[in-house]
A and B are shown apart, each in its own frame.
Chain A
Amino acid sequence: MDSVANLLISQADKRPMYLQIMEQVKQRVAIGDWAQGQPIPSIRQLAVDLGVSVITVKRAYLELEREGVIVTQHGRGSFVAENRDLGTRIREEELGQHLGQAARIGAQLGLGFEDLASRLRATCDRVADKKEEFV
């Protein structure tokens, strides 16, 4: 297993530290750096590595456990959950959150569904264009 000190807590990130830790663990799982069933650092070890309090890491792990991303076995430590679709599921949840956000802002702007849908289509086109440029 790689050294975990690669997780990064940013002061510029306005979200609470436990959310930042959760997101970075999920990202490592989503891209496959942390494989299913693989042991992950203990709460205390990660707290020391990150230089943050134990309680913050504990909270992140509890929420990750609740979301089914990791499992903690008493006395053995924590592991990435054994779930084939975990990476996909994490990304789909992320997509769901962004779409929810878009829907809320759209409602605040008074946009109807068709307006919002056509903007999404235009955005998709722009992303696709960029991809062609880079690939």
Chain B
Amino acid sequence: MTDFAVELSGVGKTYRFFSLDNICLKVPSGTIMGLIGPNGAGKSTTIRILMGLVHPDCGEVRVLGHRMPAEQVAAKWDIGFASEDMRLYESMTLGWHMNFVQSIYPNWDAAYAKLLLKRFGLVADQKIKGLSHGQRVKATLLLMLARRPKLLVLDEPTTGLDPVARHEILRELTDVMADEGRTILFSSHNTHDVEQISDRITFIDRGRIIDSMDKEVYLDRWRRLRLEVPSGVDLPALPGVIEVKRSGRLAVAIANAFVADLPNAYESSGARVHAVENMTLEEIFVANVEYSREEVEA
């Protein structure tokens, strides 16, 4: 058993209008990794590669110690995978699907499945075609969770859900983590979900990984400073500051490598620091995408 549930190194894949470039991604066992990025950034392609559904042009992929895609059959016993394009049989009931999955996977936990039915407010006798989008997502998740897989891979699990359903699903995912041996990798552009439940965050934009690290460390590196700049004072360019916006005598500086000395450095330049604020992941997301695109184009 490795310390990493998922390991991608130097993975690349070129399509006609899009390419994934040198993707290196490690997900430690027992943690939740949130994969975040704009639409079309390469999140789903990365997930499909690590699931063995897409063959990369180069690089190495290991999932639960198995080389992918070569050993995907062995790996998939212990992986639960859900994506939006997954289909259930419309004319069959949820109960039929539960029996079907149970017949394949010996780890199926019938008591847990029953509990999930109740928690998700689902009815086993109902046919799939009568289910709402939220109910379908929950049904898919139930079929996966009740197998108790070691690794859960979820592509946009909360997209298009109402707040209650989203909450139920996040709760179920964090519940899984009561067992230290289990790992979750999920993608989302809902930054709030990622901020709430991830231990680590990976940012993808335009086919490249921009950042991948511990969530607390990551959130802590970003700060917004509200400054008052008296006339005649020029703000110095300080290390770790990626953006300064001025409007009259007020200025807002954004730092992506904040250190405790930074406010003092501004003060000694003659500016007044009115506030040093933490940023939400959403604010960081937007600032980071803009900044990294400027860097690439510069």
Where the two chains meet, the residues of A that have a C-beta atom closer than 8 Å to any C-beta of B are 9, 11, 14-18, 44-45, 47-48, 50-56, 58-59, 108
Shortest beta-carbon distance, B128 to chain A, in Å? 28
**Bound CA–CA A3/B196 (angstroms):** 21
- Chain B contact residues, CB within 8 Å of chain A: 31-32, 170-171, 174-175, 177-178, 180, 192, 195-200, 214-216, 219-220, 272, 274, 277-278, 280
Known: A51-B170, A52-B196, A55-B199. A15 touches B274 (CB 8 A): no
Q: Would A54 and B31 count as touching, CB distance under 8 A?
A: yes
- Please determine whether B215 and A16 come into contact, CB atoms closer than 8 angstroms: no
Q: Are B192 and A11 in contact (CB under 8 A)?
A: yes
- Bound complex: CA of A51 vs CA of B170, how far in Å? 7
Query: Which residues on A sit within 8 Å (CB–CB) of B177?
Result: 44, 47-48, 54
Q: Give the residue of A15, A17, A53, A58 whose beta carbon is less than 8 angstroms from that of B174.
A: A53
The residues of B that contact A50 with a CB separation of less than 8 Å are 174
B160 → A minimal CB distance (Å)? 20
Whether A48 and B216, one on each chain, are in contact in the complex, defined by CB atoms closer than 8 angstroms, is no
CA distance A2 to B178 in the complex (A): 19
Shortest C-beta distance, A134 to chain B (Å), equals 34
Q: Give the docked Cα–Cα distance between A22 and B170 (Å).
A: 22
Contact B216 A108, beta carbon cutoff 8 Å: no
In the bound complex, do residue A51 and residue B216 qualify as a contact, i.e. CB atoms below 8 Å apart? no
Measured in the bound complex, the distance between the Cα atoms of B274 and A45 in whole Å is 38
Taking CB atoms, residues of chain B closer than 8 Å to A56 are 215-216
Q: Roughly how many angstroms separate A48 CA and B174 CA in the complex, as a whole number?
A: 6
Select from chain B the residue with minimum beta-carbon distance to A49: B174
Question: Complex Cα distance A104/B178, Å?
Answer: 44
C-alpha spacing A15/B278, complex, angstroms: 7
Do A17 and B196 have beta carbons less than 8 Å apart?
A: yes
Partner of A108, one of B32, B195, B272: B272
A9 cross-chain contacts in B, Cβ below 8 A:
196
A53 with B198: CB separation less than 8 A? yes
Report B-chain residues with C-beta under 8 Å of the C-beta of A17: 195-196
Closest A residue, CB atoms, query B198: A53
CB neighbours (8 Å) of A108 from chain B are 272, 274
Chain A residues contacting B197 (CB-CB under 8 Å) are 51-53
Enumerate chain B residues within 8 angstroms of A15, measured Cβ to Cβ: 278
Question: Are A53 and B175 closer than 8 Å at their CB atoms?
Answer: no
Say whether B278 contacts A16, CB under 8 Å.
yes
The answer to whether A52 and B174 touch (CB under 8 A), given A15-B278, A108-B274, is yes
B216 partner residues in chain A, CB cutoff 8 A: 18, 55-56, 58-59
Contact assessment for A48 and B175 in the assembled complex, using a CB-CB cutoff below 8 Å:
yes
Judging by beta carbons under 8 Å apart, are B199 and A44 in contact? Answer: no
Nearest CB on A from B102, distance (A) = 26
Contact of B215 among A11, A48, A51, A53 (CB under 8 A): A53
* A contact residues around B199 at 8 Å (CB): 53-55
A18 to B219, CA, bound (A): 11
Q: How far is the CB of B66 from chain A (nearest CB, A)?
A: 25
Interchain residue pairs with CB less than 8 A apart (26):
A9-B196, A14-B277, A14-B280, A16-B220, A16-B278, A17-B195, A17-B196, A44-B178, A44-B180, A47-B177, A48-B175, A48-B177, A51-B170, A51-B197, A52-B174, A52-B196, A52-B197, A53-B32, A53-B197, A53-B198, A53-B215, A54-B177, A54-B199, A55-B199, A55-B200, A59-B216
